[in-house]
Amino acid sequence: MDELLKGLRAAAEPTRLRLLALCAHGELTVSELTHILAQSQPRVSRHLKLLTEAGLLARFQEGTHAFFRLAESGAMADLAHVLVDSIPAEDQRHGLDLERLETVKKARAEIAAAYFRENAARWDEVRSLYVDEAEVERVLVEALADARIDDLLDIGTGTARILELLGSRVQRGVGLDQSREMLSVARANLEAAGLRNCVVRHGDMYQLPWPSDAFDAVIVHLVLHFAESPADAIAEAARVLRPGGRLVIVDFAPHGVESLRDEHAHRRLGFANDEVNGWCKSSGLTPAQPTHLEGDPLTVCVWSATRPGRRKSAVSEAAE
């Protein structure tokens, strides 16, 4: 009862209710919210602090920026959604806030597009060396076809293409990347796709900021060749898998294209099946038969491995 009253008191103020409504449409920074509401930064920050302390909003730090969105789980998250859904569609002030929000999103998209244009030639150069990306994505989706996925993690999410591909079939999708520029691209793409159940986070693949047993599926798509310690990256990905969860790794077979090391920062020129399967086994996973997609000169491999054990039923999960 006390928690509910605290949440209701926190939301029972015009600016704070407007903030809740805006954060229901995606992750927003203090400066973006300040611009939309046309209020001072200290005032907006104070309101955000109260909403976060009440559990209605979640706050995520990314470098010098803090992002805010509706809480994702728990009683206060449910309350936040009820309150937002109760705002009349014809409310003029809310309508104006949403118009200004669209302006903010367009500015984000323009920045992301500029970054993408500047780097597109480099990415296209690498893509030209292997099979069509659509074929890679088809095999990746097949590797997860029989899996029930509520919570999905995409490590090294880049432009969030994997979240776009799978976001509609999961309850929650999370993309992790170390590049803040790429995260800007990813956020713009997720907003354009309308995938509000998907978010991106800044972080390190060797120290994932989630507890064990947090995800039903983890994907590492064309990222492992950048890793200094691929075995450690796989072990950390395996740690956050639930029993019955699946890890899918997409990367290159061994090759001799040295320009990828010299010009594109690839640390490893591909991986052998035995090597990847060995890392999976050492991390407590059971590997499946990999799929090879031959290209010229690069062959893409899709490895998958499952954590032994059964996923808990919905009844037992609810009981906890």
Cα–Cα distance for residue pair 4/80, rounded to 1 Å: 11
Pick the CATH number of 130-319 from 1.10.238.10, 3.90.78.10, 3.40.50.150, 3.30.870.10: 3.40.50.150
pLDDT at 120: 60
DSSP 119-132: HHHHHHHHHTTSS-
Q: Where exactly does CATH 3.40.50.150 map onto the chain?
A: 130-319
Cis peptide before 297 (omega within 30 of 0): yes
E-strand ranges in the chain read 28-29, 57-62, 65-70, 151-155, 172-177, 198-202, 215-221, 241-252, 286-287, 291-293, 300-306
Pick the CATH number of 2-87 from 3.90.470.20, 1.10.10.10, 3.40.1190.20, 1.10.3720.10: 1.10.10.10
- SS3 of 204, please? strand
The pLDDT tens digits for 153-171 are 999 998 899 999 999 999 9
C-alpha 292, offset from chain centre: 26
Residue 319 has pLDDT above 50, yes or no: no
Q: Where exactly does CATH 1.10.10.10 map onto the chain?
A: 2-87
- SS3 of 309, please? coil
Determine how β-strand 28-29 pairs with β-strand 65-70: antiparallel
Phi then psi for residue 102, to 5 deg, are -60, -35
Residue 37 has pLDDT above 90, yes or no: yes
Residue 39 has pLDDT above 90, yes or no: yes
Cα–Cα distance for residue pair 270/260, rounded to 1 Å: 10
Cα–Cα distance for residue pair 2/4, rounded to 1 Å: 5
Closest CA to 122 of 2, 277, 263: 263
The pLDDT tens digits for 230-278 are 999 999 999 999 999 999 999 999 998 888 877 888 888 899 999 999 9
Q: What is the band of 116 on the pLDDT scale with cuts at 50, 70, 90?
A: low
pLDDT at 121: 66
